[in-house]
Structure 1
Amino acid sequence: IFQERRLAAGKAIPVATRPGLQVLSLQRAELLVSDPDAAQATYEKLFAGQLQFETEVEAADRPLDCRIDWAMGLELVHPKSGEDKIGKLLADKGEHVFTVVWDVDDFEKARQHVLATGFEIQWEHDFGAHGPLKVHKQMVVRPSNTHGLQVILQEREMV
């Protein structure tokens, strides 16, 4: 039903926005997996070989195996250590979607909205200019506020 409504001919796709917060799009979903090779093979098979996983992904100095297909918006995350908090999360909850990342038009407006509506920011960072990005800022909404899902809101602006 959702797909039929979303793809109905002649209908505009609504923009998910409220005053002070404009969500542009879902950028990616991150899956926590126990076997990254098997997970990669599964999704390559499911999507008929259309995935192009980047495997040399910097994982913020964490012991993680991260594989990302930026075009499809899929990231596979596997902890290289059971002692890391992500390793403990995998042991406790098993494989699951654990993070979703949305692009927003204005980081500061999104930040104000998150705080004004009673959510807690667990972490935020301004990465500055890097690669093809002129602006890259992220915040993580505390998962205990979002039914266990790690929600990341980010502002990105290309050079």
Structure 2
Amino acid sequence: MKTLNLIGLDKEKSKELVNHLNDLLANYQIFYQNLRGFHWNVKGSNFFELHAKFEEYYNDAIEKVDEIAERVLTLEGTPLHSYSAYMKQAEIKEVTGVSDGNRCVKEIVGNLGILIRKEREILALAAEIGDDGTQDMINPYISEQEKNLWMLRAYLSE
């Protein structure tokens, strides 16, 4: 017999979903920190444009970090909360010492690809277990990031 958690989802499947969300959380934390570094260190003729864009992206990323952690808690899990755990878990790797705007944008493009892939996996698992709340959270992430990915790739094609 299935055992349900307080929000009516299968406990075991929810644990699996929590693991995926914690993985996403770790990746977002590294992505966020990379964006901060790009914002602080970018140089060149596109400085003003990229400096502002990277700030927009890191503000968005930190909001998602909080939402993901709170969803983990809603599913009765414990969100990862140390940089050592993030570094160990994340597929996105820290980027240091980059000031070239195009290189920063290329890194963001690669990172968005990783995040979208992970979000799609979460979306599929959430749908499988009937977790509408997680689906409602993740769907807009994917739509927004697909658009950002298109725009960044267009930027690089100049």
**TM-score bracket for the superposition, by shorter chain length:** under 0.3
More strand as a share of residues: 1
**How high is the TM-score relative to the length of structure 1?**
0.24
**How high is the TM-score relative to the length of structure 2?**
0.24
More helix as a share of residues: 2
